[in-house]
Chains A and B, each alone.
Chain A
Amino acid sequence: MELDLSVRIGNLVLPNPVGVASGTFGYGEEYRDLVDIDQLGALYAKAVTLEPREGNKPPRLVETPQGLINSIGLANPGLAGFVEKKLPYLRTLRCPVIINVSGSSEADYLAVVEGIEAAAGTATPEARSGVDGYEINVSCPNVSHGGMSFGTDPALVERLTSRLRRATRRPLIVKLSPNVTDIAEIARAAEAGGADAVSCINTLVGMAIDTERCMPLIARGTGGLSGPAIRPVGVACAWKVSRAVKIPVIGIGGIASAKDALEYFLAGASAIQVGTALFADPRAPLEILKGIESWMRRKGVRSTADIGRLLRMEP
């Protein structure tokens, strides 16, 4: 059976639905010796902000049951540093590259997208642009300004998305925070603003405390919880969001195996991202892709787009 694994996001076609999540894969080059990057459905690069950011005070990581709390704080080389030092490598890749964009203000987000647009130019058959789309990070829980404070307000999300929409023809994916009362409302705002897709979920706000030293295990107090612990939350969000919007939903959160990914597809996601599982095994994304293909053959499902229709609420 010939499988159709492709996923359409706006005017972009992902060759397969398995990507690597922003923040866990750097700008690709770090993993070049360990992962056949060109086989990925998409590489979601680490967040780029207008100015370089050093990130948060360490410790930035702590493992929790089935989870990982991080508080990196969007450490990145800034727009100019990204264009100079990171974009050249991304241009050498054959897989779609989605640049995650963050900022403290609407103007920041816009400046980053405009700056990358100017630097990337248009792809030609000879030369890839290194930028195939943007993931708008309105859901980072680890910064004081911007980040999640945008993503919890539907009016801000719609206005930001529509301004960015005018700055690029490349696909815009809005990355949603689970730290809201109604994630479907935020997703509808992104869609109304002109987003081509939404990705969900970013990390959940979490905290762990050392009971001997009586101090938080993350210097900033709280961080973002990822890993299998949050998968049921992510699957539920993907399910709610996919019923609220017509644009594709990209599922993220605790995916470590094909079975985990299939939960998201059955919940209504069109594609997925693998993040924390990469830290345990960089081979995970391509193993997951293989597992999805074999499940589809076993179930007689030809296209990933058809998987969601198999979900039944009654026995």
Chain B
Amino acid sequence: MRQFDATVTVNRDISPSWKALGFSWPGDLAPPKPGQFFTFRPAALEPGDSGLLRRPLAFAAFALGEAYALYQVRGAGTKALAAVREGSSLNIIGALGNFFPAPAQGERPLLLGGGIGIGPLLFLHAELLDGAPGKAAPLLALGFRSASFVPDFSAALQIENPTGSPGFDKSTGSPLHAGLRRLSESLGAAVIATDDGSRGFKGTVLQAVDAESAAEPRGASAVHPHWYACGPGPMLSAIASASKSRGIAAHVSVEQWMACGVGACHGCVLPAAGGGYVRACADGPVFAPESLAWKE
């Protein structure tokens, strides 16, 4: 964990509802892991503006010294973030929180992302593909309200790469913003579910995963699944109850309003299964669903 002023390398529209943020990551700081988050404070948000608190965002990719997040402009914090120009600086504290644990031997990772919570699953998908050649391939399923909420990286990559050939930074020889490409590739590999059926599977992301698993050859479905999920409360609650009733290992990443982000203020707590509370920022944001008390 460190506080640093990062250079914003990417801050652009991915589709009408999504923006991608990329920023430089210190070379001597451990790279973020899927599930972890950072907090940011745009320079425009000085004392005197209405926003006081830093805003947390989950990492969505990490590549070649750049960290990425996906976000939607919702309130004052993300509105100010959207106004930050590429090339300018952004104050970051990260990486914060815990991360998704690796699947156990013989487990098949099934990744379920919903709406605003897709970033950490796209990140986990890319890392699982990288880290485990020969292991059970991860299945990524992402749920949205309708087709118009599905991000589309093609325009952002087009800016990057107008000729269609791989873009390289002339000075370093590195591919430009490889994180955007990783995000796009993981998204391309995902099963898409929409509530209204306007794209992909019509139904919830959990129903999509079940349908997909049923359609797979018996060999693949014989492997024990391990669910990884991030998304709106009702989705996580459904996953918690299904993982319990079916005896499936699961980890969910939760979202909560927070102030300090480092475990000091106890503002972002969630009810724990055995009574008491856990802090989303420091004990999480990734939890085994059985460790949390879910609303019935």
A: residues with CB less than 8 A from B are 23-26, 30-31, 33-34, 46, 54-55, 57-63, 65-68, 70, 72, 75, 227-228, 256-257, 260, 276-283
* B257 engages A62 (CB within 8 Å): yes
Min C-beta distance of B189 to chain A, whole Å: 36
Min C-beta distance of B29 to chain A, whole Å: 10
| Choice from A31, A60, A280 contacting B269 with Cβ under 8 Å | A60
Instruction: Please encode chain B, from 44 to 62, with 1 for each CB lying within 8 Å of some chain A CB and 0 for all others.
Output: 0101101111100000000
Question: Contacts A54-B275, A278-B260, A280-B47: A70 and B41 contacting too (C-beta < 8 A)?
Answer: no
* B265 engages A282 (CB within 8 Å): no
Name 15 interchain pairs, CB-CB below 8 A, sorted by A: A26-B260, A30-B264, A34-B3, A34-B93, A58-B256, A58-B268, A58-B269, A63-B50, A63-B52, A227-B52, A228-B47, A279-B52, A279-B53, A280-B52, A280-B53
A228 to B52 Cα, complex, angstroms = 9
A276 to B258 Cα, complex, angstroms = 12
* A279 engages B93 (CB within 8 Å): no
Give the nearest-CB partner of A217 in chain B: B257
Q: A55-B269, A282-B93 are in contact. List 5 more A-B contacts (CB 8 A).
A: A54-B275, A57-B271, A58-B269, A61-B258, A228-B52
Give the nearest-CB partner of B276 in chain A: A54
* A55 engages B277 (CB within 8 Å): yes
| Choice from B48, B51, B91, B263 contacting A63 with Cβ under 8 Å | B51
* A66 engages B265 (CB within 8 Å): no
User: Which of B3, B256, B257, B265 is most buried by chain A, counting CB atoms within 10 A of its CB?
Assistant: B265
Min C-beta distance of B64 to chain A, whole Å: 25
* B259 engages A279 (CB within 8 Å): yes
A58 to B258 Cα, complex, angstroms = 11
Instruction: Please encode chain B, from 241 to 261, with 1 for each CB lying within 8 Å of some chain A CB and 0 for all others.
Output: 000000000000000111111
* A30 engages B91 (CB within 8 Å): no
* Complex contacts, A280 vs chain B, CB 8 Å: 41, 45, 47, 52-54
* Complex contacts, A55 vs chain B, CB 8 Å: 266, 269, 277
* Complex contacts, A23 vs chain B, CB 8 Å: 265
B: residues with CB less than 8 A from A are 1-3, 41, 45, 47-48, 50-54, 91, 93, 256-271, 275-277, 282
* Complex contacts, A70 vs chain B, CB 8 Å: 259, 265, 267
A63 to B276 Cα, complex, angstroms = 24
| Choice from B263, B271, B276 contacting A30 with Cβ under 8 Å | B263
Interface of B is mostly: loop
| Choice from A33, A67, A260 contacting B1 with Cβ under 8 Å | A33
* A46 engages B277 (CB within 8 Å): no
| Choice from B41, B91, B258, B264 contacting A26 with Cβ under 8 Å | B264
A81 to B123 Cα, complex, angstroms = 38
A243 to B267 Cα, complex, angstroms = 35
* Complex contacts, A256 vs chain B, CB 8 Å: 47
* B277 engages A58 (CB within 8 Å): yes
* B257 engages A61 (CB within 8 Å): yes
Question: Contacts A227-B52, A276-B52: A30 and B277 contacting too (C-beta < 8 A)?
Answer: no
* B50 engages A66 (CB within 8 Å): yes
* B260 engages A279 (CB within 8 Å): yes
| Choice from B48, B91, B259 contacting A68 with Cβ under 8 Å | B259
A65 to B53 Cα, complex, angstroms = 11
Give the nearest-CB partner of B272 in chain A: A54
Give the nearest-CB partner of A68 in chain B: B52
* Complex contacts, A72 vs chain B, CB 8 Å: 265-267
A75 to B50 Cα, complex, angstroms = 28
A60 to B271 Cα, complex, angstroms = 12
Give the nearest-CB partner of A226 in chain B: B52
* Complex contacts, A24 vs chain B, CB 8 Å: 259-260, 264-265
A227 to B48 Cα, complex, angstroms = 11
Min C-beta distance of A270 to chain B, whole Å: 23
* Complex contacts, A46 vs chain B, CB 8 Å: 264
Min C-beta distance of B280 to chain A, whole Å: 9
Give the nearest-CB partner of B269 in chain A: A58
A75 to B272 Cα, complex, angstroms = 14
Min C-beta distance of B57 to chain A, whole Å: 16
A57 to B258 Cα, complex, angstroms = 14
* Complex contacts, B257 vs chain A, CB 8 Å: 59, 61-62
Min C-beta distance of B28 to chain A, whole Å: 13
Question: Contacts A72-B265, A75-B277, A280-B53: A30 and B47 contacting too (C-beta < 8 A)?
Answer: no
Min C-beta distance of A188 to chain B, whole Å: 32
* Complex contacts, A31 vs chain B, CB 8 Å: 262, 264
* B277 engages A54 (CB within 8 Å): yes
* Complex contacts, A277 vs chain B, CB 8 Å: 47
* Complex contacts, A63 vs chain B, CB 8 Å: 50-53
Give the nearest-CB partner of B77 in chain A: A63
User: Which of A30, A278, A283 is most buried by chain B, counting CB atoms within 10 A of its CB?
Assistant: A30
